[in-house]
Every structure is written in C-alpha cells, then in structure tokens.
C-alpha cells in the first residue's frame, strides 16, 4: 500500500472560510440531523460532518422532522442498505413540501457508486446536495453554494488516495472514540463494492494517529477503536500495524480495540501483541466469509480454511481468553449445499462469540455479480436460518461460560430495556447490563456476571 499525500492544509483553511461565510448567512439552516447508515467508518465520518455543521453555526436536532438540514450518510455494501437510503429520501420529498426551506443532503458510499448521483439528480430533484466519499471535506463549500446559488449541487470526485487531516469533529462522547488509521481497500473480494466506493488503501501517518490518541486521552478517552477496512495492511511512514499498536499501547489509554482485520494479513507480530500489550483488549473481529476453500477462492479471499483455523489456534495460544467474532456470507453464486455445510462445520469448530451473517447480495460492478447464481432466494433464507440457529446456540454457550466471573465493564449507556440499569462491555467485548445509575456512564465498574441472556449478560456491581 502506498502512502499518499495529505490534503493540503491550505484547502482545510479554505473550507474553514466557507464555514465562517455560512455562519454569517441570514437564511442558513439553524439545526441539523444526521442519519448515519452502515459501518463504524461512516459513523466516524458523521462525527466530522457534525463538527463542520456546528462550525457553520448549526445545533444538533434529535428529531429528524424538526431539523432545518437533514443529511443522510449512506451505505451500499448490500442492496437492502441502498433500498433503505432511497426509501428514506423519497419520504423526504413529502417533508419538503411542508417545509420548503429544508436542506436535504445525501452523501457517502451509495452516492459514490457509478451512475448513482446522476440517477438521483434526475429522479430526486428536491435533494439540495449530493456528494460522495472523496469530497466530504468540501461540505462547507457545498452548503455555501446551495445557499448562495439557490440550486442543487451535485459533486462526486473520482480522485481518491488522499488523506484528510484537520477536519472539525463533534464526537459521540468523550470516553470511547473511533480513530481512523487507514482508508480504502485494495483487496477486491469479488462480492464487495467497498474498493469501488472507498478507493485505494492509504494510511495516515503514525504521528497523526498518535497525536489524535493523545488528544483524546487528554479529553478523557477510556477506550479507542482503531478503524480501517483492513487495518492489518496499515503502513504509515514505514510502520506496520503491530508497531503502531505497540506505540499506542504505551500511551496508557485503558482500552484499545481495532477493526476490521483480513485473515490473509494477520501477522504473527500482531498475534503476539495480544499476548504482550497491556491495553489491547482480548477481542478480534476476523471475518471468515466462508468455510469452503473453493468458495474462498472464488471470493478472492486469498486464504484457506486451514490457514484460518491455524490463525484461530495461534490467537488462542497467545491469548486464551480472546473473544472472536466474524462475518459470514451465505448463498455466494454457485455455492453448493456441501460448501455451505463446510461453513457450518467451521463455525462449529471455531466457536465464535458472535457472527454477523448475510445473504449474498449482488453489487453492480463487482466480479461476482457476473457469476451465474441459480439458488433461489427462499433456499438461501432457509440456509442462513440454519447458520443463525447454530451460531445462536454457540453464542449462548459463550455467554453462559462467563457467569460467575468478575469483569471490569466500561459503562456506555442506560440500558434500553430497563432504565434502572446501565450497560457496557467486558474486555472480551460482551455486553453486560446491571443495576446502576447514569452517573456511571463513561466510567469503569467492577461487576460480577450473574446470568446470561440471548445476546447479553446480566450482572451486579461489586
Ligand atoms: N453481499 C453480502 N454480504 C456482503 N458483505 C460485503 N459485501 C457483501 C455482499 N455483496 C459482508 C461481508 C463483509 C461485511 C461488512 O459485509 O461479510 O465482511
Ligand atoms: Fe470488501 Fe474484502 Fe475489502 Fe473487506 S477486505 S472491504 S470484504 S474488498
């Protein structure tokens, strides 16, 4: 992976000028509501978007219908994500009839897809701003133009490869923070649209990452999640990912996690880091996608089932308590019943704490979209249910094995089911709810695990 130029500081200063210009405009929106779809990378982008909108003088509005500016940060990894985004946009047309001054912005991975922006411009002329993934940092300029020119702005940039530093940000909270370390993906798994919409792999300089972590630590961060489509191929300023982790570990932030990892790039040094580093949490998301060598080959994953199982064994040898999670695709074109059953047997062998399972969704422009696919959707639905049932039984077993243990939980929020309880994660990444007051949020609490539910644990504070 190449190191790429950073977007010039002068460009960020230019954008800051636009933020000031917008702030001074009489008829500008006063409040914003962001709908963030998809992965953590999008969530992190939404924090930058929120930062820019705030600098333009807008305040967050929790109720979407009440906001003066609504922004959809979209995802396109599967067709249903796209349908959801488009469905929402169509609904906005009605809202705009009632509120003609409403500013509607749509950006992110879906709009970056080839031909999508042109289609949206033609079919949804009520959208005020359409931008992509590579020009997010120009949002202030675009908002200014929409207001000054009083007509829609549609701008998608094809150039990628730049790293943008110094964007404003409004973080979700002070105690757990996302930190991007690299962008894009060069792997071209045959089913995946990400390389087409997020561009080529490029890493941030380690100094920039460290400086951000230090700042977050000063602001009270208890946990940081390092983000990238494939963090294992991080290469910034000559440093590999494991080296970066060692440097971050020395800062002393209590908890470090990262995602996502590609099995083909998971190095022995990184496995070793799980044994050595004090603050690296014993949790790894390691998408396997399939348990069949033939399907893995046709997915262009570049590892075998045996290699994956070997990684699992090494990880558990280095860190016996590590919690592994995964992503699995069912119904890849041409997948036979036997090949699907190889995935079941892999799941049974590895025993993931949790797995995200998806029915294959053809994405235009990817190689697998051209492969013949004769299995009806109903059959795929039945198969995925078998996988879900198996994984649920294994997840429940993993949760039950925690009962009686004492764990330190970083409290994240009031429990959604019970307002007298709070919830947070154990080092292994399992969610625990326990009776407690909201003032625990953002703090570490020692908890004894008392019982296991379907997806979460219950406990009591010690
Ligand atoms: N269909 C189904 N699932 C997909 N994923 C990526 N692309 C597709 C697709 N076309 C899944 C992979 C990936 C996760 C983020 O989404 O499992 O790891
Ligand atoms: Fe998509 Fe594969 Fe890259 Fe992950 S590694 S983003 S699945 S192309």
CATH number reported for the structural domain that contains residue 147 in this entry = 3.40.50.12160
- pLDDT given for residue 8 in this prediction: 74
Do 71 and 29 have their domain in common? Answer: yes
| Residues 6 or more apart whose Cβ sits within 8 Å of residue 276 | none
Do 336 and 386 have their domain in common? Answer: yes
Atom of ligand 1 nearest to the CA of 192: 7
Residue 247 sits in a domain whose CATH number is: 3.30.750.210
Residue 103: pLDDT band with limits 50, 70, 90? very high
Do 199 and 135 have their domain in common? Answer: no
- pLDDT given for residue 238 in this prediction: 85
Atom of ligand 2 nearest to the CA of 289: 7
- pLDDT given for residue 442 in this prediction: 97
Q: Compute the distance between CA of residue 95 and CA of residue 42 in angstroms, rounded to an integer.
A: 25
3-state DSSP assignment of residue 200: coil
What is the token pair recorded at 276?
């050595």
Please choose from 76, 78, 185 the residue to mutate so as to test ligand 2's pocket, defined by most ligand atoms within 8 A of CB: 185
pLDDT of 456 over the 80 cut: yes
Distances 461 to 223, 339, 435, 446 between C-alpha atoms, Å: 20, 46, 7, 6
Q: Compute the distance between CA of residue 36 and CA of residue 232 in angstroms, rounded to an integer.
A: 25
Least confident of 2-6, 83-87, 127-131, 334-338: 2-6
Q: What is the pLDDT of residues 386-397, one digit of tens each?
A: 999 999 999 999
- pLDDT given for residue 7 in this prediction: 78
Please choose from 232, 262, 368, 369 the residue to mutate so as to test ligand 2's pocket, defined by most ligand atoms within 8 A of CB: 262
Tell me if 182 is assigned to some domain: yes
| Alpha carbon of 289 to ligand 1 centroid (Å) | 8
Q: Compute the distance between CA of residue 335 and CA of residue 384 in angstroms, rounded to an integer.
A: 13
What mean pLDDT, rounded, does the chain reach? 96
Q: What is the pLDDT of residues 179-220, one digit of tens each?
A: 999 999 999 999 999 999 999 999 999 999 999 999 999 999
Strand partners, 35: 72
Do 322 and 343 have their domain in common? Answer: yes
Domain extent, residue 298, equals: 282-401
Residue the block writes with tokens 């959707």? 377
- Domain closes at, from 249, 278, 307: 278
Q: What is the pLDDT of residues 2-46, one digit of tens each?
A: 455 677 788 899 999 999 999 999 999 999 999 999 999 999 999
Q: What is the number of structural domains in the chain?
A: 4
Residue 434 sits in a domain whose CATH number is: 2.40.50.140
């Amino acid at each position: 992976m190449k190191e790429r130029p950073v977007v010039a500081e002068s460009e960020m200063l230019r954008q800051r000028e636009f933020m000031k210009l917008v702030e001074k405009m009489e008829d500008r929106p006063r409040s914003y509501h962001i709908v963030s779809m998809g992965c953590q990378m999008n969530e992190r982008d939404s924090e930058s978007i929120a930062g820019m909108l705030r600098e333009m003088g807008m305040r967050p509005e929790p109720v979407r219908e009440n906001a003066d500016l609504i922004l959809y940060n979209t995802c396109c990894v599967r067709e249903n994500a796209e349908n959801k985004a488009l469905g929402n946009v169509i609904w906005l047309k009605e809202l705009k009839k009632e509120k003609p001054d409403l500013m509607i912005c749509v950006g992110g991975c879906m709009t970056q897809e080839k031909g999508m922006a042109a289609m949206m411009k033609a079919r949804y002329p009520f959208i005020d701003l359409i931008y992509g993934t590579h020009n997010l940092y120009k949002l202030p300029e675009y908002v200014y133009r929409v207001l000054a020119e009083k007509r829609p702005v549609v701008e998608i940039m094809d150039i990628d490869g730049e790293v943008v530093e110094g964007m404003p940000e409004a973080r979700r909270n002070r105690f757990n923070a996302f930190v991007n370390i690299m962008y894009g993906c060069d792997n071209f798994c045959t089913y995946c649209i990400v390389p087409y919409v997020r561009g080529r792999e490029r890493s941030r300089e380690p100094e920039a990452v460290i400086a951000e972590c230090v700042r977050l630590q000063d602001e009270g961060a208890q946990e940081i999640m390092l983000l990238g489509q494939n963090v294992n191929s991080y290469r910034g300023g000559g440093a590999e990912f494991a080296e970066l982790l060692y440097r971050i570990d020395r800062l002393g932030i209590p908890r470090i996690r990262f995602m996502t990892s590609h099995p083909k790039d998971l190095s022995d040094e990184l496995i070793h880091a799980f044994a050595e580093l004090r603050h690296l949490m014993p949790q790894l998301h390691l998408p396997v996608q399939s348990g069949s060598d033939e399907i893995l080959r046709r997915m262009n994953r570049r590892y075998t089932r045996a290699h994956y199982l070997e990684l699992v064994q090494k990880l558990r040898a280095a860190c016996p308590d590590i919690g592994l999670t995964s992503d699995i695709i069912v119904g890849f074109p041409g997948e036979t019943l036997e090949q699907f059953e190889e995935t079941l047997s892999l799941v049974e062998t590895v025993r993931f704490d949790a797995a995200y399972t998806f029915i294959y969704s053809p994405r235009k422009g990817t190689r697998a979209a051209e492969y013949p696919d004769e299995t009806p959707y109903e059959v795929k639905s039945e198969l995925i249910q078998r996988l879900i049932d198996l994984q649920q039984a294994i997840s429940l077993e993993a949760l039950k094995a925690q009962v009686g243990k004492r764990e330190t939980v970083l409290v994240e929020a009031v429990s959604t089911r019970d307002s007298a309880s709070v919830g947070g994660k154990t080092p292994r990444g399992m969610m625990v709810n326990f009776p407690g007051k909201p003032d625990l949020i953002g703090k570490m609490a020692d908890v004894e695990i008392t019982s296991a539910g379907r997806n979460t644990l219950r406990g009591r504070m010690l």
